[in-house]
Structures are given as C-alpha cells and as structure tokens.
C-alpha cells in the first residue's frame, strides 16, 4: 500500500470492486478514488489502451488492479470477466455499473439504431453485469451494486428519449433489486449526476456550458470526483443502512 496512505482509514480496503466504463470520465475518477481507499480495482472498458493506462494509474497508487476489455452488451464478455475475477480473488464485493452512452435526437428524428444502441448499453448492459455478479454476492452473503442513473432519469430532458428511458429504467432496477437482494445482505443504490465536467462536454459550445452553469444554484459544473466520492461512500460500510436510494449529485440543479 502507498506509504502516503494511512491503512487504518481506508474505507474500501481489499474490497474487490468491478467498475464498468472505468477508463475515462466518471468511471476513471471512480477507479482512482477506490484505489485511494484501498480497493482491489477491476477496470472494465471497451478500449484496450485506455484500460491499460487506467490500471497503471491505479497500481501507481499502491493497490492491486486488473483490466478487462468488456462490451457490457456482450453477455459472454461480462460472464468471462466475472468468472476470471472471482477465480482469482474468491469474491466480488462491489459492482459499479457506470458504463453508458448518449445518442441524442428529438422524438421525431431519432433513428431506431440510436434508440436501440442506448437501450442496449445503458439498460441491458446494467442488467448483464448485475445478473453476472449476483449469485457470487448471494453466496458471500454480502455485496454492493451501484448504478449510474442521471437527473435526466428523474425529470426527463429535451432530445433524450432513449437516454432518459434508460436512466428511469436504472432507477427501476435499483428499487427492485434492493428489495430482492437486501435480505441476502446485498445493498443496491443509484447516483443521479447532474451537469458533470467530463470529456463528453468537449464538443459543447462555451455559451451552452455557461448556460448550464447558470442553471445550477452552485453556479458551476460538477467534477467527476464529486460522483466518485459518493460512489466510494455508498460502497463503504459507512453506508451500511442505505439501500434502494437514488442520490442526486447535481449542485441543486433540480430545485
């Protein structure tokens, strides 16, 4: 463990934590935060080079980390990854269902391909990953599943029929699984981020970014670390009585 880190205060020490979409944006920030908290980090994403870099960054913090190229829409890839991780470490303590995409268009303009692709990644992918780890967690008698929703999944958003539907759906997953799995010792929660400063925003004009900031009472965009911090808390024993919740991390955007 990194000598700069006090092992007495590590909230996720040796927790085997599988994070999807972990090579960029919120997922990478979450992987690094979990590493700082002492977790064994399993980086899953679709690009090998990005996965390798994220693993190296986690290892540099002083923890064990492994990387897998995983397309969450491909159940065989998900199952193979979970099997390998379970065989190596003997458990899976935390799943962070972070992987997600957007393909925006107004209802009248949205193609079936745009609709299907977002549903496939953001909804079916979350189902695949959760189902793949659940038997392991039930056998352990413990585990944490954390799902990425969005404020769009609570309030809707112009031009995001597909995305909003998936993020509403993720809340449905969270509420249902927390009921089913709570008696087995497994907690399931979701986070609903607001406007977060990630590479996805790089194509948005400065004027629009400023308008987004103006809508938030805190008058700024969130950082990926703001989301990662909440994931780390929810994954830890400090959140042991939090189950079935959706926590908005949005700077008061929806007030």
**Which positions are annotated as active-site residues?**
163
Alpha-carbon distance of 245 to 243, in angstroms, equals 6
For the chain, the distance separating the N- and C-terminal CA atoms, rounded to the nearest angstrom, is 42
Alpha-carbon distance of 194 to 218, in angstroms, equals 12
Dihedrals phi, psi of 47, to nearest 5 degrees: -115, 125
Task: Give yes or no for a contact between 154 and 122, defined as CB atoms under 8 angstroms apart.
Answer: no
Residue 13 Cα distances to 69, 101, 110, 173, angstroms: 25, 30, 45, 28
Alpha-carbon distance of 189 to 243, in angstroms, equals 6
Dihedrals phi, psi of 33, to nearest 5 degrees: -65, -45
**How big is the chain by its Cα radius of gyration, in Å?**
18
């Amino acid at each position: 463990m990194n000598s700069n880190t006090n092992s007495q205060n590590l909230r996720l020490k040796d927790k085997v934590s599988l994070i999807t979409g972990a090579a960029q944006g919120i997922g990478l920030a979450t992987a690094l935060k979990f590493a700082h908290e002492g977790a064994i980090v399993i980086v899953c994403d679709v690009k090998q080079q990005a996965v390798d870099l994220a693993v190296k960054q986690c290892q540099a913090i002083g923890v064990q980390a492994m990387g897998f190229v995983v397309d969450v829409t491909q159940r065989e890839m998900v199952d193979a990854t979970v099997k390998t991780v379970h065989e190596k470490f003997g458990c899976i303590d935390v799943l962070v269902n972070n992987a997600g995409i957007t393909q925006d268009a107004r209802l009248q303009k949205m193609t079936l391909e745009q609709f299907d692709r977002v549903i496939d990644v953001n909804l079916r992918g979350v189902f695949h990953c959760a189902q793949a780890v659940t038997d392991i967690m039930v056998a352990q008698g413990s585990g944490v599943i954390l799902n990425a929703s969005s404020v769009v999944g609570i309030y809707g958003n112009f031009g995001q029929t597909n995305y909003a539907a998936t993020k509403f759906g993720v809340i449905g997953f969270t509420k249902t699984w927390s009921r089913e799995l709570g008696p087995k010792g497994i907690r399931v929660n979701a986070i609903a981020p607001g406007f977060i400063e990630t590479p996805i925003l790089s194509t948005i004009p400065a004027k629009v970014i400023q308008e987004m900031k103006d809508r938030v009472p805190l008058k700024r965009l969130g950082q990926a670390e703001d989301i990662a911090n909440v994931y780390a808390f929810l994954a830890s024993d400090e959140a042991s009585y939090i189950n079935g919740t959706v926590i908005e991390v949005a700077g008061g955007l929806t007030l």
